[in-house]
Amino acid sequence: MAHILLTGFTAFDGREFNASWIAVQALIAAHRSDHVLHGLRIPVCWGAPRPAISKAFAQWQPRCIIAMGEGAAGLFKIETLARNKRAPRKDNNDQLPPHSLIEPQGQDSYPASTDYSALCARLTVAGYPAQLSNDAGAYLCEELLYSLEALKTLHASLQTVLFVHLPPFGSCLDLHGKKRSCDAALLLEFSEQLLACLDEQQLL
C-alpha cells in the first residue's frame, strides 16, 4: 500500500471544467486499489505549483505523485522533459509570468526521472491513443512538472513523479475503434488503467 498524490488544475481559458481535476475526483471516489489516494487542485496561476505540491508532500508524504493537465484533443501525452521555461501567456489572474524562467537559479531542464516507454506502450495496447512528449507547453503544466522533478531530487522517499496531458473535457477521440467524448466516465476508465499499469510496473 502506498500514499499517492493526484493533482489536477482549475479550469482555464474560459472553460467551465478541467479534465484533469475531473479525473482526479473520479479516481479517488471509485478506485479499488489498496493504495491511499489524495487529491490536490492547483490554480492556473504563475508560481502556484511549487508551494502547493511542497505543502501536500509535507502533509501526506506520498511515494508517487501523478499529475494531470489538459492538452491536445485526441491524445494522452506522457511528458518526458521538464524545461525551466515560461511562455509569455496570461494566467487565471490575468497576469503574465513575473520571470521567463520557473526557477531563475534552477537548472535548464530535468529529463523524466523514470523511463515511461513501457507505460506508454501498455496504454496503447489497451486502446488509448498515448504517446511520449518532450514539450509540456511552457505554461502551468510545465511549471508543475519542473517543480515535481525538482522535488524528487530532494526526497528519496518520493519514488515516482509522472505528468500526463489529457484531452480537453468534452472533446472527441478514438478509443477502442469508437468515437468517444472525453467525459467523466472515460477519464475514470483511463485513470484506473493508468494506476493499474503503474502498479504492474512497480512504480507505486
Predicted confidence pLDDT, tens digits, the chain (204 residues):
889 999 999 999 989 999 999 999 999 999 888 899 999 999 999 999 999 999 999 999 999 999 999 999 999 999 999 999 999 999 999 999 999 999 999 999 999 999 999 999 999 999 999 999 999 999 999 999 999 999 999 999 999 999 999 999 999 999 888 899 999 999 999 999 999 999 999 998
Number of separate domains in the chain: 1
* SS3 (DSSP) at 190: helix
Residue 178, pLDDT score: 87
What pLDDT sits at residue 139?
A: 98
pLDDT at 172: 95
Q: What's the CATH number where 125 sits? A: 3.40.630.20
Q: Is 34 exposed, middle or buried (0-12, 13-18, 19+ CB in 10 A)?
A: exposed
Q: What is the DSSP letter of 184?
A: H
Q: What residues contact 108, with CB distance under 8 A and at least 6 apart?
A: 83, 84
Measuring CA to CA, how many Å separate 120 from each of 26, 27, 127, 197? 22, 19, 11, 9
Q: Write out the residue range of the structural domain in which residue 78 sits.
A: 3-200
Nearest-angstrom CA–CA distance, 18 and 199 = 26
Amino acid (one-letter) located at 148: L
Residues 128-168 have pLDDT tens digits of: 999 999 999 999 999 999 999 999 999 999 999 999 999 99
Whole-number CA gyration radius for the chain: 16
Bridge partners (DSSP) listed for residue 5: 38, 65
Whole-angstrom CA distances from 90 to 44, 87, 154 are 10, 9, 30
Which amino acid, residue 113? Answer: S
Residue of 69, 173, 195, 96 lying closest to 127 (CA atoms): 173
pLDDT score for 204: 85
Q: Which amino acid is at 174?
A: D
Q: How far apart are CA 171 and CA 40, in angstroms?
A: 24
